[in-house]
Structure 1
Amino acid sequence: MSKERDYYFEQYQDRKMKKWAGFYLSEHTTMIEQEQKKKPVKKKTQMTWSEIDEVLAQAFQNQIEITIQKEELDSEGNYGADIKGRIQGHDELGLYVDGQKIGYDEIRHVQLS
């Protein structure tokens, strides 16, 4: 390398990173704080299909609110938040709770709320 080029890189300061660092850090720290506030959902007992069917039938007939834990895990191996609501309808593949379709095979645990 030439001496001029060496001098340039020794004196070079990237102001762009400094300009955006404050913005990035505030957004990033907010996101990290929100993630830390989330507590992992506890694993509930796996119910048999007949137990699930019995609770769902009672909830549908009496229009009782239910809480469902899906069998789904996130990338860190934690269960997602419980789904709460009333059963709005069903078909041969699953049921609708507060506008969300949940397949029968996705249900790990269900209880009356």
Structure 2
Amino acid sequence: MTSDKQIYDFFKNYQDRGMKKWTGFFLSAHTAKISQSKKCENNRLKKALDLEKIKKVLLEATTQGKIVQIQLKAVDLDGAPFPEIKGIIEGWIDNQVVINRQIINISEINCLEIVKEL
């Protein structure tokens, strides 16, 4: 059993660490949430282009051999868009485009832009 003197001595010399004692608990849950929100801020869908604008950019890129960057409408489970596809248009038939040996339906394209370098 502890005496009043032992309790008094303990609190006389006790230095509270303040918020430091909560840091480990705080960081694990909140850092994940903060990094997820930063990811979402950096990876958002660009302004969607209409079908006519997409076809116009495709025509220019195909005839002039320019490099394009395509952002698809599809997003992952966190709501972030998949990585953009960059390359030269290898083929374009009706509603499908071939870029980097990958067939993409034009209806799946959110944004398409011509870029300078690969």
TM range (shorter): 0.5 to 0.7
- Equivalence for 1:72: 74
- Equivalence for 1:43: 45
- Equivalence for 2:97: 95
Distance in 2 separating the partners of 1:55 and 1:93? 14
Secondary structure of 1:86 counterpart: strand
C-alpha distance after superposition, 1:38-78 (max 9, x if no partner):
x4523200111111111110000000000000000111111
Rg bigger for which structure?
2
* Paired letter, 1:104: I
Distance in 1 separating the partners of 2:50 and 2:95? 17
Matched, 1:85 2:58: no
Secondary structure of 2:94 counterpart: coil
Return the TM-score normalized by structure 1: 0.63
* Paired letter, 1:76: D
What pairs with 1:7-86 in structure 2 (closer than 5 Å)? 39-40=39-40, 41-86=43-88
- Equivalence for 1:5: none
Conserved in 1, the CA contact under 8 Å of 2:45 and 2:73? no
Structure 2: runs of 5 or more not aligned: 1-35
